[in-house]
Structure 1
Amino acid sequence: MVTPLLSLSGSVPVGLSPLSLLSEAVRLLCACSSSRTEHCIDTKMAKTRLAFLLALLSTHSLLSVSAVVLKTNNHSPSTDEFNKVELSCLIETISTANPRIEWKKFTDGKPSYVYFDKRISGDLENRAVIREPATLVITNATRSDTAKYRCEVTAAADVRTFDEIEINLVVRVKPVVPKCSVPKSVPFGKSAELSCVEEEGFPKSQYQWFKNSEEIPDDPKTSLKFFNSSYTLNAGTGTLRFSAVRKEDAGEYFCRAKNDAGHAQCPPQKMEVYDIDVVGIVLGVLVVVVVLLCITVGICCAYKQGYFSSQKQPGSSYKVPSKGDGVDYVRTEDEGDFRHKSSFVI
């Protein structure tokens, strides 16, 4: 006896495929055409079910064919700078012969046309092509191509006339040689900071530090060679900071910046660690103090001995010349000014 997929109310189970609908229709036809009445329920009911099945099958087929549906092989493609990359936009189903295809690029949320009216435009004009039916191929990707792209297809003759797919493209950029700063000499027991900066790479570079060509671990306690060192290493900022340098910390240091596209490193730079001679510094200060004290005492003694007294005679010590015969001299109010009191007698 045939067990129909339709219930008496004529409803269809969820998820019924076109093949199941077709099989059920065939079983109903066979059952109702049989001479054995037990294989066929009420003839009127069977015809109603058969008509419903055929209508449902026709509608299902119409919807599956008359709708534009897109898919992509990769929603998040990536490539290295100056390489080729493909943004796939595949039309899975469509009825319209010449659909309208558009590509848009979104930078900081603002859209711009990449492919419109059957031509490449904008920054990709000479660096991209459309591969039928709708895939965008960038032949020479640059860092400025990193963005979100949208493929849009409009099919006027389809029941469902529009579909779109978004693709996030990342163009990786290899780091350039980083700028490294290593102190030439550091006093024993003092702090020291080594820095490493690189700003061209994309994604953002991570940093590694090397001492005498051996990588410095993030945690000194994980390595026997660096176990006694007191430093902190920040791989995100490129900073290597010693809280108190030791003699063993002296050596040649260099930094490496790396990301998914590659790496670059700065030349090695030597850092020396020297002792602070406290006794020598104290003795040096004492010697300077003694020398200054001796100079001061010497100057005071020279003053007392008159070596620095003035030899200049004051104007009031002018000696009055002796009288000449027959001449009287009278002193005026102005010191040192003389005139004749009487004339010469011959």
Structure 2
Amino acid sequence: MVPARLGPAVAMVTGAGRSVLAGWAHARGDYKLRRAAAGPSAPLDMALRRPPRLRLCARLPDFFLLLLFRGCLIGAVNLKSSNRTPVVQEFESVELSCIITDSQTSDPRIEWKKIQDDQTTYVFFDNKIQGDLAGRAEILGKTSLKIWNVTRRDSALYRCEVVARNDRKEIDEIVIELTVQVKPVTPVCRVPKAVPVGKMATLYCQESEGHPRPHYSWYRNDVPLPTDSRANPRFRNSSFHLNSETGTLVFTAVHKDDSGQYYCIASNDAGSARCEEQEMEVYDLNIGGIIGGILVVLAVLALITLGICCAYRRGYFINNKQDGESYKNPGKPDGVNYIRTDEEGDFRHKSSFVI
């Protein structure tokens, strides 16, 4: 029987009355639990210590610290944003979220600044939109900034600054990174028309409008080419390397299998664009034909040289200006014979002796 000084006892019957948990409290704060089972089994006792009561004087310092901490939070201006890294397509609109969560100031001062290329400029100052956003931006909900018709030049860091004079912490700021994506335009592709077997060939693909910078991929006969031909057994007969950052496709030594229709695709997160197909022909180098052509040229040069020599020997290149008839001027008894040549006005004379 439980002594009266141990206090009230609590019993819980489980398992259709076959197991009983009984507990009673000691005056000094200890608990005794006894499990009594039907039958001769021995009782099992467990002792639990009741946690001591906290005195009010011990709780007072923590209570005052909590009140002080809550007072600091209430008296400080705090900002948050629903999206600190917004991404938008060019010519669309975007909202830069800046929300005041806590403030005791009814009319805080709001400023927006743009940070780009290590330069900081005002976007919203003195309750007016400034700079290149004038006419296509406005303030929403006292602090957020909305921009219409965004361009690639709007990609930058934007800082929202709030000054609340009546708060314990008067200033807070938040930085938002805006990314404006631009779809690539049709890239410019350059493909050599004909390349001999074994020679090097370079294919170019360039695009300058996409933002962020696009990545390039090349296709041959509508089959995408890997960045390295050695990485794919399908291209084991080829030897090329593709730079997806610059768009160049370099063949170190072309093979007959490299002939085909080539085109390039420039793509980024905003979209993609491709150039027109261009054919590259790989032909065998005919060594026998080249040697035969050289021999023919040498033979022609030899015949020309022989013809010139024969013509010179026969006198075709000698200027005969002395072929004329000798006559004597009867009007001049000077004993001089005059010779007229074929050229008019060309007179020569020679002396003659009369015996």
SS for the counterpart of 1:83 is: coil
Q: Is contact 1:209–1:253 with CA below 8 Å preserved after alignment?
A: yes
Q: State the distance in 1 between where 2:242 and 2:190 align.
A: 14
* Partners of 2:286 and 2:97 in 1: CA distance: 71
Q: Higher strand share goes to which structure?
A: 2
2:270 matched to 1:261? yes
User: Could you tell me how far 1:55 is from its partner in structure 2?
Assistant: 4.0
Determine the C-alpha separation between the residues in 2 that align with 1:208 and 1:142. Answer: 27
Alignment of 1:106-255 (within 5 A): 106-255=115-264
Q: Partner of 1:102 in structure 2?
A: 111
* Alignment partners' CA distance in 2, 1:270 and 1:337: 81
Q: Quote the Cα distance in structure 2 between the aligned partners of 1:328 and 1:168.
A: 118
Runs (5+) with no aligned partner, structure 1: 1-37, 339-346
1:330 counterpart = 2:339: no
Gaps of 5+ in 2: 1-51, 339-347
> 2 CA distance for matches of 1:241 and 1:56?
71
Deviations 1:34-72 (A, max 9, x none): xxxx9796xxxx66964x455434422321111101112
**TM-score, reference length from structure 2:** 0.75
SS in 1 for 2:328: coil
CA distance in 1, matches of 2:228, 2:244: 11
- The answer to whether the 8 Å contact 1:196/1:207 transfers is yes
1:319 to 311, 323, 327: 327
Tell me if structure 2 keeps the 8 A contact 1:256–1:264. Answer: yes
AA at the equivalent of 2:334: V
In 2 relative to 1, CA 59–264 (structure 1 residues): closer, same or farther, beyond 3 Å? same
AA of the residue aligned to 1:301? C
Q: Take 1:328 and 1:320, find their aligned partners in 2: how far apart are those partners?
A: 8
Aligned AA (1:253): Y
Higher helix share: 1
* Match runs of 1:270-309 below 5 Å: 270-309=279-318
Match 1:83 to one of 84, 92, 96: 92
Q: Which amino acid aligns with 1:232?
A: H
Q: How much identity, in percent, do the aligned residues show? A: 47
Structure 1 residue 117 displacement after superposition: 2.1
| CA–CA separation in structure 2 for the residues paired with 1:208 and 1:48 | 72
In 2, the alpha carbon distance for the partners of 1:230 and 1:58 equals: 75
CA displacement, residues 232-262 of structure 1 (integer Å, 9 cap, x when unaligned) = 1100110001111111111110111111111
Kindly indicate whether the alpha-carbon contact (under 8 Å) linking 2:189 and 2:264 is maintained by their aligned counterparts in 1.
yes
Contact 2:230 2:239 in 1 (8 A): no
How many residues of Structure 1 are paired with residues of Structure 2 in the alignment? 291
SS in structure 2 of the partner of residue 309 of structure 1? coil
CA contact (8 A) 1:331 1:337 kept: no
Contact map agreement 1:99 1:153 (CA 8 A) in 2: yes
Question: In the alignment, residue 83 of structure 1 is paired with which amino acid?
Answer: E
Instruction: Give the direction of change, closer, same or farther, for the CA distance of 1:120–1:265 in structure 2 (3 Å limit).
Output: same
Offset from partner CA, 1:123-167 (integer Å, 9 cap, x none): 112222221131112232110101111000000011111100111
Say which SS state the counterpart of residue 321 (structure 2) adopts: coil
Residue 75 of structure 1 aligns to a residue whose secondary structure is coil
Structure with greater contact order relative to length (CA < 8 Å, sep ≥ 6): 1
Identify the residue that residue 3 of structure 1 maps to in structure 2: none
Mapped to 2, the partners of 1:234 and 1:39 lie a distance apart of 74
Q: How does 1:1-80 map to 2 (within 5 A)?
A: 50=60, 52=61, 55-80=64-89
